[in-house]
Amino acid sequence: MTGEIIIEGKPFSFERLPWNYNEIPDTAYSQDLAKECLFLVKKLLDDRGIPFMLMHGTLLGAYRDGNFIPHDNDLDLGIFEVDDERMKSIIPDMYDAGIKLCRYHYGIIYSFIYKGLICDIDVIQKAKFPYGFRYVRVLTELVPKKLLSDVASHDFLGASFLIPNRVEDFLAYEYGKDWRVPRKGRSAKISPLWMKPFKFVKRAFSFIRRKLHLRPERNTMEE
């Protein structure tokens, strides 16, 4: 499938891949490949002055283990909403470096593929009213502002990377209080507990609407 993104007023076409990793047969992951990709992305973003943070499983491995998690399947990074347009502007440069855009959802996430490895770059953005007073939005979830408002430097694989200043609180919010215990198959759960009933009702309502053909099926993570 071919996707299109507007960069500085001009259309840029890319080969779009499914959002479900299981539908990408050539997805590859190794710690060496992850390091190669991470340092390539770091150079490109550093050269343009775009700050980024390690996020999710990449952050967990870097902070807890000092390396990538062996059973992980992608790289996870994050930028702030203020840098979204600059991030978009370097996509052609990333493409020239072999890091190709493969999935994109406006203002929420960029996904790139490098030698079969997926690199996701989340856009940390202001949550909508009334949640914006206390939360920011990461993907489709809410995260307390205090956990992502400040950053700190962390040495990882011989280089300095930005991480959330309250990194342990953030990891506990994502993975639970036992985040220090390695567990294969663990995934982030970045949603406040009080939101879960509302999300369940919303998903159930959407499911009923689709079954009654009141709304067509669609992939909510694609434009």
Check pLDDT > 60 for residue 92.
Answer: yes
| Unique residue bearing structure tokens 């390091």 | 35
pLDDT value at residue 1: 83
For the stretch 32-63, pLDDT in tens is 999 999 999 999 999 999 999 999 999 999 99
Share of the chain above pLDDT 90, in %: 66
pLDDT value at residue 223: 33
CA distances from 159 to 60, 156, 188 (A): 17, 5, 25
Please tell me the distance from the alpha carbon of residue 50 to that of residue 88, in angstroms, as a whole number. 11
Q: How many helices (H) and strands (E) does the chain have?
A: 7, 11
Angle at 131 between CA 74 and CA 147, to 5 degrees: 50
Q: What is the mean pLDDT of residues 135-148?
A: 93
Mean pLDDT of the chain: 86
Check pLDDT > 90 for residue 79.
Answer: yes
Considering the entire predicted model, what is its pTM? 0.82
pLDDT value at residue 98: 96
Please tell me the distance from the alpha carbon of residue 26 to that of residue 126, in angstroms, as a whole number. 35
Check pLDDT > 70 for residue 64.
Answer: yes
Please tell me the distance from the alpha carbon of residue 39 to that of residue 55, in angstroms, as a whole number. 15
Q: What is the mean pLDDT of residues 185-198?
A: 58
pLDDT value at residue 71: 83
Q: What is the mean pLDDT of residues 162-171?
A: 97
pLDDT value at residue 216: 44
pLDDT value at residue 193: 56
Instruction: Please choose, from the candidates 65, 30, 58, 56, the residue with its C-alpha nearest in 3D space to the C-alpha of residue 182.
Output: 65
Give the range among 23-37, 97-111, 170-184 with minimum mean pLDDT: 23-37
pLDDT value at residue 186: 64
